[in-house]
């Protein structure tokens, strides 16, 4: 995945492996691949940590600011993930949409909404 995504993730922490192991995995291997691909895209450290894993049903440790509403915080996170994904695929919007698991037209709407070029 590093080669395909143009990243240099060196591995994962024992805590992140335990986090992955504790998940029930109702899907197939594609679900695991998608989780790892997203983790690699958003990871800005050499090792994937639990905070990089977006497992369904698990609450992330994103720091919320008291003055921000839930909607505002979700938009900040969404914008950041879209930007990091676009960087990882060198701006290829079709590939970014595929990695994010959304239709290309939805990605274009979000790019306009967040004024991402």
Confidence of residue 112 (pLDDT cuts 50, 70, 90): very high
pLDDT tens for residues 52-102? 887 766 655 455 556 667 788 788 888 888 888 888 788 999 988 988 888
- The pLDDT assigned to 64 comes to 53
Other CB atoms within a 10 A radius of the CB of residue 72 amount to: 12
Q: Quick check: 47 and 10 in contact, CB under 8 A?
A: yes
Better-predicted residue by pLDDT, 55 or 108: 108
Distance from C-alpha of 117 to C-alpha of 107, rounded to nearest angstrom: 12
**Measured CA distances, 19 to 29, 42, 74, 100 (Å):** 16, 17, 22, 21
Please tell me the predicted confidence (pLDDT) of residue 18.
Answer: 86
- State pLDDT tens for residues 5-55: 778 899 999 988 888 888 777 777 888 888 888 888 888 889 998 888 877
Residues 6+ apart with CB under 8 A from 8: 2, 46
pTM: 0.52
Q: Whole-angstrom Cα distance, residue 83 to residue 81?
A: 5
State yes or no: pLDDT of 104 exceeds 50.
Answer: yes
From residue 108, how far is each of 32, 71, 84 by CA, in Å?
26, 20, 15
**Strand runs (DSSP E) across the chain, as ranges?**
11-12, 47-48
Tokens for 90, please give them: 């060198």
What pLDDT does 106 receive? 92
For residue 12, give the DSSP letter. Answer: E
């Amino acid at each position: 995945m590093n080669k395909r995504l143009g990243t240099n993730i060196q591995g994962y922490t024992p805590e992140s492996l335990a986090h992955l192991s504790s998940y029930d995995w109702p899907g197939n291997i594609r679900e695991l691949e998608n989780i790892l691909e997203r983790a690699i895209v958003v990871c800005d450290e050499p090792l994937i940590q639990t905070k990089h894993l977006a497992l369904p049903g698990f609450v992330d440790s994103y720091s919320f600011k008291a003055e921000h509403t839930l909607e505002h915080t979700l938009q900040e996170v969404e914008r950041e993930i879209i930007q990091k994904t676009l960087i990882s695929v060198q701006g290829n919007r079709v590939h970014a949409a595929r990695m994010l698991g959304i239709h290309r037209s939805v990605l274009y709407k979000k790019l306009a909404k967040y004024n991402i070029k």
